[in-house]
Amino acid sequence: MPPPALPAPIVAVNASASASHVIHRIRLTRRSWHTSASPSDHPVDNFPRSADTPFAQFAVRAGRRPTLRSDLVTSVTVRVPAKVNLQLAVGPIRDDGYHDLVNVFHAVSIFDEIVASEGTALTVRVEGHGADQVPDGGDNLAVRAAHALATHAGRPYGASLLIRKNIPVAGGMAGGSADAAAALVACNELWGLGLSRDDLMEIAADLGSDVPFALLGGTAVGTGRGEKLTPLEVGGVFHWVFALADGGLSTPKVYRECDRMREATGMRVGWPEPSEDLLAALRDGDSVRLGKAISNDLQPAAIMLRRSLARTLEAGHEALGGIVSGSGPTCAFLARSPEHAAELAVSLTAAGVCRAAVIGDGPVPGATVGS
């Protein structure tokens, strides 16, 4: 069966650039090397900014306009959202060990915050719940993102990164990927590189399957490993409750369990395709229809590895729909309204099936520079 027909993914970016684009990029980079340069040496207003790029189009729809800062900064704060998978269709294993996916990403209003400050080396410090579970050295995905950006720029830049965690660690909401995306945005700003969001998307795709979406935000279909994104129009705001679990689940372990369960049952897996019902529900802003359409091929494997998730999903039976988010163990429940979301949060907490029940709305924009 051929792959599903979707518009060209936004990470398929033409790497060619005009001569003036290259000249301006070089001059922008020189600004970050020579702090004594005058403002006239930093022609930010002339830097090419295409309103036709997919990111720019989404940003305008979301009420944002991509800009470049012309002033020298010593610290940059970026806020980045969690994601929930509205559909996670897992295809057969590829030759490279990955699976072909159809992954409908939806960014929600649970945010990590990264502060990037001047530094002579790349360092990271983590605060918040689960901070002790996050690597604090070169294995940290935010540090790897900053290093990849410095390598792309061809300079040994340094930065001190502070990560303030609100997205659950190893919770199936792409918290590590979100931090990597935030680090790309923050260091791009801190170092005065002037790279476009589409440039950052190309770097992000090499860091992990979920990192490009954390840059984009909104709602999008991911194909390939999930890194090839097609933004979706959404007809409204959706209200969610997230049941956060104690401890996390290893994403590779959940995928391996999914493969094992399929092999044990002789299940034959075809090419994954987007759910037409789900796409229509998103387009129409129909939360009732969306609640019936959400699905996750990894859910049985996550429940097999964490049996308590079945009880969590049952406790949220009054929701319009409930699902394990990604590889888990966070469970997401769709509500009719903010009031219904508050009621669900109370009932989930009272049932004792989660360490916390957090309310969030979606879609929201991706990694964004704050004040």
Residues tagged active-site:
83, 210
Tokens 């090499």, residue located: 206
Do 247 and 329 contact (CB within 8 A), yes or no? yes
First-residue to last-residue Cα distance in the chain? 49
Q: What is the DSSP letter of 79?
A: E
Q: How far apart are CA 345 and CA 356, in angstroms?
A: 8
CA atoms within 13 A on the CB side of 291: 19
Tokens 């060990």, residue located: 97
SS3 call for 155: coil
User: What's the token pair of residue 240?
Assistant: 């969610």
Q: Provide the sign of the torsion angle of the four alpha carbons 180, 238, 102, 354, taken in this order.
A: positive
Provide CB contacts within 8 A for 240, sequence distance 6+.
84, 108, 332, 333, 334, 335, 341, 359, 360, 361, 362
| Measured torsion, CA atoms of residues 321, 326, 331, 336, in degrees rounded to the nearest 10 | -30
Q: Which of 182, 132, 178 is nearest to 161 (CA)?
A: 182
Inter-helix orientation angle 141-153/175-190, to 10°: 40
Q: How far apart are CA 104 and CA 85, in angstroms?
A: 6
